[in-house]
């Protein structure tokens, strides 16, 4: 095995990547991995690395990854002996490259707290419906840490959904012959979203200081999740095109329009660094972390703002996103448009807002018709007298 260095211009073989080509003087080089595909007597491979590889160190790193992957494959346990704990670290590495960091963090928490404890010692090929039924029964009877309540069925469904993804990965990527494992999901109807009226949202925005005014506008006027809003930087905004590029749940990106109110609120914060957090937590700026971190929790600040705005109902950050979607539906905006705006992968997720919007329209209708019917009764009573 060797790494071959050639001049990109005249194809001469070079001894080092430090100096230009002695034949033509060009500094552009091509790096080639030269190795045997599967041992001494196998086919010889000469793989030309892409142009983005411009140093011997980068070529060596790529080759090390190739060798490591080949070595790991050789050292794998037989499929019938591999346990969940043995294979899950490799799944986490794959997950790191293919999923969003927030999803990876949640999966690690679920694995370390519950999956390894309840299913970690099980052989993957021996996983059956009984194992998943056992997981459900144990988790439903456990208490949530620092809370006097049992684990919710929706939480257990999410954890087993993670585990089902792991089994699918073992089947596809590790070629482990796992029979399909079917289990009954727990009954967990999606709670109906709580919303604010447009007037309540306006009162909250007016009562907030510039920092939280901008943050709340991102949650409401853009319909962002809390995690999407907190990681925004100036580089995400294009004030000439009046748009913002948001990295959403799952790691994909979406481009949303912004209006002058949102643009003015962001500019009012006077953030200079294009890569600095717009919603920076000042306490997180240290010598070890000079860039700092974005705000992690605004619930206490939101409680103070709501108290100043005389809002009595409990308000949480995600309520602004619910309210925005419901107000769009009430304004006769197409459901498909709202789905793309919110970044929902499935239309069924967006359809939960149709029931909320219908209830509010019904309340408005009842209010109007109640006055109408009451007025008509009063008119009939006056005629009879």
Identify the active-site residue in 108, 152, 304, 344: 344
The per-residue pLDDT of the chain, averaged, comes to 83
Q: Is 353 a catalytic residue?
A: yes
Does residue 168 surpass a pLDDT of 70?
A: yes
User: Averaged over 51-72, what is the pLDDT?
Assistant: 76
Best CA proximity match to 120, nearest among 104, 135, 140: 135
Query: How open is the CA angle 38-48-90, to the nearest 5 degrees?
Result: 55
Task: Quote the pTM value.
Answer: 0.58
Give the least confident one: 120-124, 164-168, 192-196, 283-287: 192-196
The mean pLDDT value for 19-34 works out to: 86
Look up 149 and say whether it is catalytic. Answer: no
Amino acid 347: pLDDT:
65
- pLDDT of 270 reads 92
pLDDT value, residue 326: 84
Q: What is the pLDDT of residues 351-375, one digit of tens each?
A: 666 655 555 545 544 544 555 555 5
Residue 74 pLDDT: 45
What pLDDT, on a 0 to 100 scale, did the predictor assign at position 359? 57
* Domain range 198-318, CATH architecture: Orthogonal Bundle (1.10)
pLDDT of residue 316: 92
249 is catalytic: yes
Catalytic one of 225, 254, 293, 304: 225
Residue with tokens 């009877």: 141
DSSP 125-149: GG--HHHHHHHHHHHHTSBPTTSSS
Select which of 99, 249, 293, 360 is catalytic: 249
Catalytic residue among 29, 213, 321, 322: 321
CB atoms within 10 A of CB 275: 8
Given 108, 293, 318, 360, the catalytic residue: 318
Strand partners, 44: 36
pLDDT at 165 over 60: yes
Per residue in 135-154, pLDDT tens?
999 999 988 877 778 899 99
Q: What is the mean pLDDT of residues 322-336?
A: 81
At residue 289 the predicted structure's pLDDT band, cuts being 50, 70 and 90, is confident
| Catalytic residue flag (residue 41) | no
pLDDT tens by residue, 85-106: 999 999 999 998 888 787 888 9
Q: How confident is the model at residue 379 (pLDDT cuts 50, 70, 90)?
A: very low
- Identify the pLDDT of residue 378: 47
% of residues, the chain, pLDDT over 90: 39
Would you state the pLDDT for residue 51? 80
CA neighbor of 135 nearest in space, from 80, 189, 181: 181
Residue 277 has pLDDT above 90, yes or no: yes
- Quick one: pLDDT at residue 351? 62
Query: Is residue 303 packed enough to be buried (19+ CB in 10 Å), middle (13-18) or exposed (0-12)?
Result: middle
Q: How far apart are CA 56 and CA 275, in angstroms?
A: 31
- State yes or no: pLDDT of 164 exceeds 90: yes
pLDDT for residue 337: 79
Condensed to tens digits (0 to 9), the pLDDT of residues 216-236 reads 999 998 889 898 899 999 999
Q: Are 279 and 268 in contact (CB under 8 A)?
A: no
Residue whose pair of structure tokens reads 């006055």 in the numeric block: 371
State yes or no: pLDDT of 4 exceeds 70.
Answer: yes
Per-residue pLDDT at 80: 65
> Active-site residue 225, yes or no?
yes
Instruction: Give residue 363's pLDDT.
Output: 54
91 is catalytic: no
């Amino acid at each position: 095995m060797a790494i071959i260095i050639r001049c990109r211009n005249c194809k001469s073989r070079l001894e080092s990547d430090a100096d230009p080509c002695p034949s033509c003087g060009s500094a552009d080089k091509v790096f080639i991995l030269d190795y045997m595909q599967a041992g001494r007597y196998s086919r010889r491979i000469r793989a030309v690395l892409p142009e983005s590889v411009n140093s011997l160190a980068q070529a060596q790193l790529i080759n090390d990854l190739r060798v490591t992957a080949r070595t790991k494959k050789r050292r794998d346990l037989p499929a019938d002996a591999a346990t969940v704990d043995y294979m899950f670290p490799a799944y986490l590495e794959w997950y790191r490259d293919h999923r969003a960091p927030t999803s990876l963090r949640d999966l690690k928490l679920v694995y370390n707290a519950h999956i390894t404890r309840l299913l970690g010692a099980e052989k993957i090929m021996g996983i059956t419906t009984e194992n998943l039924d056992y997981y459900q029964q144990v988790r439903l009877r456990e208490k949530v840490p620092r809370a006097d309540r049992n684990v919710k069925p929706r939480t257990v469904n999410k954890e087993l959904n993670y585990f089902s993804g792991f089994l699918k990965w073992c089947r596809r990527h590790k070629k482990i012959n796992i029979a399909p494992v079917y289990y009954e999901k727990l009954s967990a109807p999606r709670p109906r979203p709580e919303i604010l009226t447009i007037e309540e949202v306006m009162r909250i925005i007016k009562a907030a200081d510039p920092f939280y005014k901008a943050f709340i506008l991102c949650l409401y006027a853009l319909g962002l999740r809390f995690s999407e809003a907190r990681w925004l930087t100036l580089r995400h905004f294009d004030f000439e095109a009046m748009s913002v590029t948001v990295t959403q749940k799952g790691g994909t990106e979406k481009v949303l329009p912004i209006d002058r109110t949102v643009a003015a609120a962001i500019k009012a914060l006077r953030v200079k660094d294009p890569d600095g957090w717009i919603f920076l937590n000042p306490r997180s700026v240290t010598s070890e972390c000079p860039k700092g971190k974005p705000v992690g929790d605004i619930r206490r600040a939101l409680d103070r703002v709501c108290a100043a705005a005389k809002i009595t109902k409990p308000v949480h950050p995600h309520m602004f996103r619910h309210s925005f979607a419901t107000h769009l539906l009430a304004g006769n905006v197409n459901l498909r448009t709202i789905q793309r705006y919110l970044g929902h992968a499935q239309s069924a997720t967006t359809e939960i807002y149709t029931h909320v919007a219908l209830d509010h329209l019904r309340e408005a209708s009842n209010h109007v018709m109640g006055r109408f019917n009451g007025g008509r009764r009063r008119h009939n009573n006056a005629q009879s007298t």
